[in-house]
Structure 1
């Protein structure tokens, strides 16, 4: 269940009326209040003026497509005051990675290709609603050996970076790093294998288990966004190194 704020509901935006009702009904069965909108421009107005807890947004919409809705919600729209910084989960029926890349670049937090599996949708919704970049969750007092982190560790610690898988939180120099769900999963995967080259096939296989369809382009884009949020945009990067022709290598304590 979501908390008791006035925006305690999820907006489902899809021009397929039957599908929108199915998604809405499924979410309500699992304890979430919902509203449904079928028109892009009307959805944008609702997002900015009513500030839902989360938006499930289809790419193909009448009047204004989902990518434009996402972009305008993030950066503002003429005649509407403010913008939206809550989580946006985008849906598309198109079977290629161009829409995923475009969606992530316009400000979406996560992405699912249709047909959407209900359990995967629920998992993504729960993860996005749990994420709170302004609050640092409590960490266990026991120390984790930085030199030998393993994949199933709940907390991974390095010199200036703490990654908590249970709370899906990354803290750098005492400040929370505002990562999307997919970005956190990728960072946690790389950090669980410090000093090991993770090729794109390995990364894609990991994301496939989580219900993602990840291409090389989306992996590269997410790495680029993680680097930016970690302040690791130097060439070469000092935290997540590109090993040309092979993949990515996470550097632990530097």
Structure 2
């Protein structure tokens, strides 16, 4: 899952990014609304965490511009303001949720997970790939009922494949959703994580489609 944080309080932005990266999310960060809108338009994010009081374009305008363009990416708005009219304005511009500063990181993480679960086909909290189950809410993976321990990044790669069970997912698509845009390492890192998942979950869990990418079994197969 790839997230965008648009927050001009740099210390807060860094803290949120570190916490979310530790959970296995790829996180891009910027500090003004104009740049945030550009990034959101250019990349396929799974969720945007958007401050309201931003230089350039404020969060209301960024969210409204995304919705006007037909972009339905989930938006979690952050603000130092506190009042029902501020919340109403944020929701009226198309935000999906609203959090007032100061907030608990645990609460923010729960809101992020809830919004990601609601999005499109990823709404199912538990994904099944034959004998493998992927519980998105608890981040627990089992094969034949036995828990398999994965690192945060291994889980993120598996989740990306499981969301599109039965489809071919390219290496580039996995990189775009699991690593942030600043990643400049070897793209073959994807193969390293796929190999690790096969060792832990069984060689039949992920199939290589030569020249195209990877595919898991259809859900429930």
RMSD: 1.9
More helix by share: 2
Unaligned segments of structure 1, at least 5 residues: 1-7, 77-82, 139-165, 167-254
Equivalence for 1:170: none
Which of 97, 103, 108 is the aligned partner of 2:95? 108
Distance between the aligned counterparts of 2:123 and 2:8, measured in 1? 38
Distance between the aligned counterparts of 2:42 and 2:20, measured in 1? 22
> How many residue pairs end up in the alignment?
126
Would you say 1:48 and 2:41 are equivalent positions?
yes
Distance between the aligned counterparts of 2:33 and 2:86, measured in 1? 17
Would you say 1:127 and 2:120 are equivalent positions?
no
Q: Is the 8 A contact 1:51 1:84 kept in 2?
A: no
Would you say 1:14 and 2:1 are equivalent positions?
no
**Partner SS, residue 116 of structure 2:** helix
Runs of 4+ in 1 over 4 A off after TM superposition: 134-138
Alpha-carbon distance, 1:133 to partner: 3.6
Alpha-carbon distance, 1:51 to partner: 2.2
Equivalence for 2:23: 30
CA shift in 2, pair 1:103/1:29, >3 Å: same
Alpha-carbon distance, 1:135 to partner: 7.1
Choose between structure 1 and 2 for higher RCO, CA contacts under 8 A separated by at least 6 residues.
2
* TM-score, normalization by structure 1: 0.47
Q: Is the 8 A contact 1:47 1:84 kept in 2?
A: no
Which of 62, 74, 77 is the aligned partner of 2:55? 62
**Partner SS, residue 10 of structure 1:** strand
* TM-score, normalization by structure 2: 0.54
Unaligned segments of structure 2, at least 5 residues: 126-136, 138-221
Q: Is the 8 A contact 2:52 2:58 kept in 1?
A: yes
What does 1:218-229 correspond to in 2, within 5 Å?
none
